[in-house]
Amino acid sequence: MNETNDNLSSRCVVLVPLERIDAAHHVAQRFKLNATFEHHPALAMAEICLLHQQENSVKAWNGGSTELNLVLIHATEMHNVQIMIDSIRKYLPHVLISELRDGRIERIENHGAIVDALEEPPIIHSEPVDADELSMLLDQTQQEVEE
Amino acid sequence: MVHRDTRSSIVFAGSFNEELISGVDQPVRCVNSVFDAIGELATCGASDLVETVVVDDQLLQEHTTEHLDALRRVDPSAVIVVAGTISASTQADALVPKDTTAAHLASAIINVKSQPALIHDDNEVDLDEVLGIADASKFIKDDSNLGDIDLVRALMHVPAKFKEVLIELLKQQTNWTSCEIIDDRPSAPESSQVAPLRYGHEEHGFLAATGTTSDELARWSHWVACWLELARKQRHLKLLAYKDELSGAWNRRFLRTCLSRELQIARDKRRPLTIMIFDIDDFKHYNDRWGHDAGDEIIREVVRLLNTIIRRGDHVCRIGGDEFAVIFCDPEPPREAGSNHPTTVEILARRFREQVANARFPKLGVEATGVLSISGGLATFPWDASDIDGLLEKADQRLLQSKRHGKNSITIGKDE
């Protein structure tokens, strides 16, 4: 996601620690975010839920829909952010979650869930077999056949 | 058309003992965090409403205020119970011990729900405004030539401003320094003369004026009292025309007039409008067994209960013997983030059905307590229909559907 991306012109909630609010305003101005600022993960989730409900209502009238965004700014400084992200992905999977990273707003991909969903491939050990072992194995196979 | 069982559920957030969970006589959902509880509240449908959230105080940690605020923000009507020893949870609706029993929890929830709701006074309803009679655009007042015709116009089109026009006319006709209609003598300004406004046995307060004589004031006070009495009778007649005498609810005539106006407002302001039609199950049986007095009491009590539940702006109408309609005029526009989410009509309807089922009717005897039930149907503009007849028909169809499904239920039509 970059500065020209229009997705964030749709409604978004910015989760930022209170002491970083100046930085958040700066980011919102720079990226032209139509944002609501929250300083606690629970309240940020509540706001996203309300936007979701509002979106449903608007969708009923117009048939169209817009993206809902949650932007995390310095959110690692707060507790329970990961639990909030997990809950949003569970209940509101269509919400796009991004974070401020190296001066850019980038999408947080759900790599963890993808990896968790994969099954471990079977482990195959191919150790070298010398001539004696091979002969013994063949003999054993021969004996089993004769028996 | 979808028939929904509007039974509400409880969300338990945190760890609770199995005995408590299994003992609750409601659908239960267990989640591990406050965030999941918020998600449950926000995404529940009309058929699986989350009515109560029980939060383990261990989850709240030092963020009690924010966590409870978040739950309330998503659904202010949900009952929030904190389980544990936390003492700072006064923001919760109820506190229970961590090892509480299902019965204790149910009792705590009932206590919260039974707190008295605001009873709307019908006198607060501006009948003319509701009926669309108060259309100021039809009232053309020529200040330079006030006469009785202006009073008649004010009475017809802007009754709320009738007194204002009356005083304005009085000032123009008399050239008094000042004059006003007051409720009692002590309220009169100093150095003013006061005369009672009386027409027959009807009192209308007092006329206070300065720059006049007592004879002149007496003459004009009689003139003012005549007009005030006419305005009172006009209002009384309108109330008689639109009110149901037995129950005090609005009548069928009001329903159509009001619905027409509210539908237009809903269209203009792009907001939903819901109508619920319901009747009392087996009402004839009550009339036959306990007499018409008992039937009348049931009708009155049902209307009283309904009036304790509806919001300002909603209207209860009795449209038949035991048939009622409720117009839910959602006064909130599509909500903005940060404001309170309006209480949903589905919740109001379900609470009303529960209240009727638990109501006591002395004339039916003690054995009849809790036997009364209602069946209803809801239809919402713009989803179900876009005109009055369509909405009424849809709500009526759903009422019949509730009957077919064994009564004591309300059918909501919003599709999944």
Token pair 């037995």 in the structure block, residue: B246
**B70 vs B48: which has the higher pLDDT:** B70
Domain ranges of chain A: 7-117
- Residue B44: closest CA among chain A residues belongs to which residue? A91
pLDDT in tens, B235-245: 888 888 888 98
> Of A38-52, A126-140, B43-57, B325-339, where does the model show the most confidence?
A38-52
Residue B184 has pLDDT above 80, yes or no: yes
Query: Tens digit of pLDDT for each residue in B21-69?
Result: 888 888 888 999 999 999 998 888 766 788 899 999 888 877 888 888 8
pLDDT value, residue B342: 43
- In a mutational test of the A interface, the residue from B31, B35, B273 whose CB has the highest number of chain A CBs within 10 Å is B35
Instruction: Return the structure tokens found at B264.
Output: 């237009």
Same domain, B204 and B327: no
CATH number of the CATH domain containing B406: 3.30.70.270
**Predicted confidence (pLDDT) per residue in B353-408, tens digit:** 887 777 766 666 655 555 678 888 999 888 888 889 999 999 999 999 988 888 87
Please indicate, yes or no, whether residues B334 and B293 belong to a single structural domain of this protein: yes
Pick the most confident of A33-42, B97-106, B198-207.
A33-42
Which helix (DSSP H) or strand (DSSP E) does residue B135 occupy?
A: none
Q: How much is the pLDDT for A94?
A: 87
**Number of CB pairs < 8 Å for A and B?**
89
Distance CA B83, CA B75 (A): 19
Query: What's the confidence (pLDDT) of residue A7?
Result: 45
Q: Give the SS3 label for residue A72.
A: strand
State mean pLDDT over B212-236. Answer: 89
Q: What's the pLDDT at B156?
A: 82
Which of B58, B78, B113 is the last residue in one of the domains? B113
If pLDDT is split at 50, 70 and 90, which confidence band does B416 have?
A: very low
Helix/strand/coil for B276 = strand
> Nearest CA to CA, how far is B269 from chain A (Å)?
12
Query: pLDDT class for B206, splitting at 50, 70, 90?
Result: very high
In chain A the first and final C-alpha atoms are separated, in Å, by 70
Query: Which has the higher per-residue pLDDT, B273 or A146?
Result: B273
- Give yes or no for A86 touching B (CB within 8 A): yes
In a domain, B3, yes or no: no
Report helix, strand or coil for B1: coil
How many residues can be counted in chain A? Answer: 147
Question: Which range is least confidently modeled, B295-299, B331-335, B339-343?
Answer: B339-343
Q: Round to the nearest angstrom and report the end-to-end CA distance of chain B.
A: 10
3-class SS at A14?
strand
- On average, the pLDDT of chain B sits at 80
Alpha carbon distance B307, B75 (integer Å)? 22
Contact B78, B64 (CB under 8 A): no
Predicted confidence band of residue A54 (pLDDT cuts 50, 70, 90): confident
Are B267 and B400 in a shared domain?
yes
Residues B307 and B389 in one domain: yes
Chain B residues whose beta carbon lies within 8 Å of the beta carbon of residue A60: 382-383
For residues B170 and B221, membership in a common domain is answered with yes
Sheet holding B28-31, edge to edge: B28-31, B9-13, B50-56, B79-83, B94-96
Q: Is the domain of B37 the same as that of B134?
A: no
Closest by CA to B326, choosing from B301, B352, B296, B358, is B352
- Alpha-carbon Rg for chain B, nearest whole angstrom, is 27
Query: Structural domain of residue B24, as residue ranges?
Result: 9-113
Residue scoring higher pLDDT (B23 or B90): B23
Domain end residue (candidates: B187, B207, B242): B242
Euclidean distance between CA atoms A41 and A19, whole angstroms: 15
> Per mean pLDDT, which range of B168-172, B280-284, B286-290 is the poorest?
B286-290
Does the pLDDT value for residue B140 go beyond 80? Answer: no
Q: Is A58 within 8 Å of chain B by CB?
A: yes
Q: What is residue B363's predicted lDDT score, i.e. its pLDDT?
A: 63
Domain tally, chain B: 3
In a domain, B214, yes or no: yes
- Chain B, window 339-378: residues with a beta carbon less than 8 angstroms from a chain A beta carbon: 341
| Any B CB within 8 A of A65 CB | no
3-state secondary structure of B243: strand
Specify the higher pLDDT residue, A85 or A67. A85
Residue B214 or B313, more confident: B214
The whole-number pLDDT of residue A4 equals 37
Claim to verify: residue B212 and residue B279 sit in the same structural domain: no
Phi-psi region at B235: left, alpha or beta (left = phi > 0; alpha = psi -120 to 50): alpha
Residue B77: pLDDT band (50, 70, 90) is confident
The pairing of strands B94-96 and B79-83 is parallel
Alpha helices in A2-147 (DSSP H): 21-30, 41-62, 81-91, 111-117, 131-146
Pair (B380, B397) in one structural domain = yes
Same domain, B326 and B286: yes
Looking at residues B113-120, what average pLDDT do you find?
Answer: 47
Q: What is the pLDDT of residue B332?
A: 55
A118, pLDDT greater than 80: no
Same-domain status, B230 and B280: no
Is residue B247, in this structure, part of any structural domain at all? no
pLDDT at B180: 92
Q: Which residue has the higher pLDDT, A72 or B285?
A: A72
A100-114, B286-300, B311-325, B334-348: which is most confident: B311-325
Whether residue B6 has pLDDT greater than 50: no
Most confident of A8-22, B292-306, B391-405: B391-405
Which residues of chain A lie closer than 8 angstroms to B338, CB-CB?
A: 36, 47, 50
In this structure, are residues B51 and B76 in contact, taking their beta carbons and an 8 Å threshold?
Answer: no
pLDDT for B325:
94
Percent of chain B at pLDDT above 90?
Answer: 16
**Looking at the structure, do residues B274 and B369 belong to the same domain, yes or no?**
yes
Given this model, what pLDDT does residue A46 score?
94
Please give the C-alpha separations between residue B244 and each of B158, B250, B317, B320, in angstroms, as whole numbers: 24, 6, 8, 10
Q: Is residue B349 part of a domain?
A: yes
Comparing CA positions, the residue from B99, B97, B98, B94 lying closest to residue B109 is B94
Give percent of chain B above pLDDT 70: 81
Contact B35 A13 (CB under 8 A): no
How many CA within 13 A on the CB side of residue B266?
25
- pLDDT-derived band of residue B118, with 50, 70 and 90 as boundaries? very low
Reported ipTM? 0.71
B132 with B84, same domain?
A: no
pLDDT greater than 50 at residue B76: yes
Query: According to the CATH classification, is domain A7-117 in 3.50.50?
Result: no
Residue B279 forms contact with A (CB below 8 Å): no
The verdict on residue B1 lying in a domain is no
Nearest-10 crossing angle of helices B34-43, A81-91:
30
Closest CB from A45, A52, A90 relative to B70: A45
With beta carbons less than 8 A apart as the criterion, state whether B207 and B194 touch: yes
Averaged over B276-293, what is the pLDDT? 85
Confidence (pLDDT) at A127: 62
Confidence tier at B86 by pLDDT (50, 70, 90):
low
Is the pLDDT confidence value at B341 over 50? no
Q: pLDDT of A21-45, one tens digit each?
A: 888 888 888 888 888 899 999 999 9
